[in-house]
Amino acid sequence: MEIDIRERLDLALIMIQRYGLDFEREFQNRLRQLCLREIAVINIYLDLKDPASPEVVMLLEKTGCFFAGFLPAHPRYFLILQYLNNVNVDYDKIAVYDTFAKKLLDYVRDEDPNATPV
């Protein structure tokens, strides 16, 4: 697990390299440390080619992480989950310009455990 903290942006990027037997405990420890540092936004990158990723997604969703997007980065493709540390997003203020983008925004809002229901 590699963590890149970008203090000026109040952002942390967690790149998951491999899943081990202690993954859940290690992730929770790292997430707690980032929250205590008051990092507002934490993005978690999971390798879509790793067969364990679907199980890890379910585990991370239990901690409050939710779908935020995809990153096609040859030769690896990443699913991005996000954890918001005491941040509320006003999804109504996000401007989208086509039907697909609106559907994607609605999906992210539905997945955000802190979002106000529509």
pLDDT over threshold 80, residue 74: no
Q: What's the Cα-to-Cα distance from 32 to each of 16, 38, 63, 82, 106, rounded to whole Å?
A: 16, 10, 11, 14, 28
Q: Are 81 and 57 in contact (CB under 8 A)?
A: yes
**pLDDT one-digit tens code per residue, 48-71:** 888 998 899 999 999 999 999 888
pLDDT over threshold 90, residue 14: yes
- The reported pLDDT for the residue numbered 95 is 94
Residue extents of the structural domains in the chain: 2-87, 90-118
**pLDDT one-digit tens code per residue, 36-48:** 999 999 999 999 8
pLDDT over threshold 90, residue 114: no
pLDDT over threshold 90, residue 35: yes
pLDDT over threshold 70, residue 27: yes
**Assigned CATH topology for domain 2-87:** Aminopeptidase (3.40.630)
Cα 87 to its chain centre, rounded Å, is 13
Residue % of the chain over a pLDDT of 90: 58
How do the residues of the chain divide into helix, strand and coil, expressed in percent and rounded to 5? 35, 30, 35
Residue 43: φ, ψ to 5°: -100, 135
How many whole angstroms separate alpha carbon 19 and alpha carbon 24? 9
Of 30, 25, 26, the residue nearest 43 (C-alpha): 30
| Mean pLDDT lowest among 58-67, 68-77, 85-94 | 68-77
pLDDT over threshold 90, residue 88: no
Of 111, 9, 27, the residue nearest 69 (C-alpha): 111
